[in-house]
Chain A
Amino acid sequence: MSRLVRVVVVVSVVAMSFGNATSAAAQSAAEYTHRVDSLARLWRAATATVVKTDASRPNAPSADSLRIGMIIVRTDSEHVDLARAAAARLSPRIERAYGHFAERLTRHQFVLRAKGGTHAATEVQTGLTDSTGAMGQRSSDYANEVSLAATWQRMVEEVMTDAAGPDVRSWIGAIIPSDPPTKTTWSDARIALILAASAGARDCVGGDIIRCEQVLGLVHVDDPAFTFFDASQRFTMIVGFAHILRRADPAQFDRCTVARNQATCDSLAHAIPTDAVNAPIPPLVRQSLVRFALATGGDGAFDRYAAATSPKARLEAASQLPADSLVRRWRDTIMGAQKGSTAVDLETAVSSLAWAALCVACAVRSSRWR
Chain B
Amino acid sequence: MSERPTVWRAILESQWKWTRGLALLGALVGFALPLLSLRTALATQSTASFIATMQAWGVGYAIAAAALGLMTAIAAWGYDHRLRHVYALSLPLARWRYVLLRFCAGLVMLALPVVAVFIASEIVAHSSMVPKVLQAYPVALTLRFGFATLVAYSLFFAISSATGRTAGYILGGIALIIVAQVVISSANLQVDLVSRSIDLVFAAPGLLAVFGGRWTLIDV
- The chain A residues found within 8 Å of chain B, CB to CB, are 190-191, 194-195, 197, 202, 205-206, 232, 236, 338, 340-345, 347-357, 359-360, 362-370
Q: How far is the CB of A352 from chain B (nearest CB, A)?
A: 5
| Sample of 13 A–B contacts (CB below 8 Å) | A195-B47, A206-B132, A236-B45, A342-B213, A347-B204, A348-B210, A349-B147, A349-B210, A356-B151, A359-B154, A360-B103, A363-B162, A369-B88
Instruction: Report the bound CA distance from A232 to B205 in whole Å.
Output: 46
Given the interface contacts A205-B133, A340-B140, does A370 sit within 8 Å of B163 by beta carbon? Answer: yes
Tell me which residues across on chain B come within 8 A of A359, comparing CB atoms: 154-155, 157-158
Tell me which residues across on chain B come within 8 A of A343, comparing CB atoms: 137, 140, 143-144
**Which of A236, A344, A366 contacts B166 (CB under 8 A)?**
A366
Q: What is the chain A residue whose CB lies nearest that of B132?
A: A206
**Which of A194, A236, A350, A356 contacts B133 (CB under 8 A)?**
A194
Q: What is the chain B residue whose CB lies nearest that of A347?
A: B204
Q: Cβ of B39 < 8 Å from any Cβ of A?
A: no
**Which of B96, B144, B205, B220 contacts A347 (CB under 8 A)?**
B205
The reply to whether B220 and A194 contact each other, CB–CB distance below 8 Å, is yes
Given the interface contacts A195-B48, A348-B210, A348-B213, does A362 sit within 8 Å of B162 by beta carbon? Answer: yes
Q: Cβ of B122 < 8 Å from any Cβ of A?
A: no
Tell which of B95, B153, B166, B217 has the most Cβ of chain A within 10 Å. B95
Tell me which residues across on chain A come within 8 A of B147, comparing CB atoms: 344, 348-349, 352-353
Q: What is the chain B residue whose CB lies nearest that of A354?
A: B205
Q: What is the chain B residue whose CB lies nearest that of A236?
A: B45
Tell me which residues across on chain A come within 8 A of B89, comparing CB atoms: 369
The reply to whether A190 and B220 contact each other, CB–CB distance below 8 Å, is yes
- The chain B residues found within 8 Å of chain A, CB to CB, are 45-48, 51, 81, 84-85, 88-89, 95-96, 99-100, 103, 132-135, 137, 140-141, 143-144, 147-148, 150-151, 153-155, 157-158, 161-164, 166, 204-207, 209-210, 213-217, 219-220
**Which of B148, B153, B162 contacts A366 (CB under 8 A)?**
B162
Given the interface contacts A363-B103, A366-B166, A370-B163, does A340 sit within 8 Å of B219 by beta carbon? Answer: yes
Q: A232-B45, A351-B206 are in contact. List 5 more A-B contacts (CB 8 A).
A: A340-B135, A348-B204, A352-B151, A356-B153, A363-B158
Given the interface contacts A343-B143, A363-B103, does A352 sit within 8 Å of B158 by beta carbon? Answer: no
The reply to whether B205 and A197 contact each other, CB–CB distance below 8 Å, is no
Instruction: Report the bound CA distance from A364 to B85 in whole Å.
Output: 15
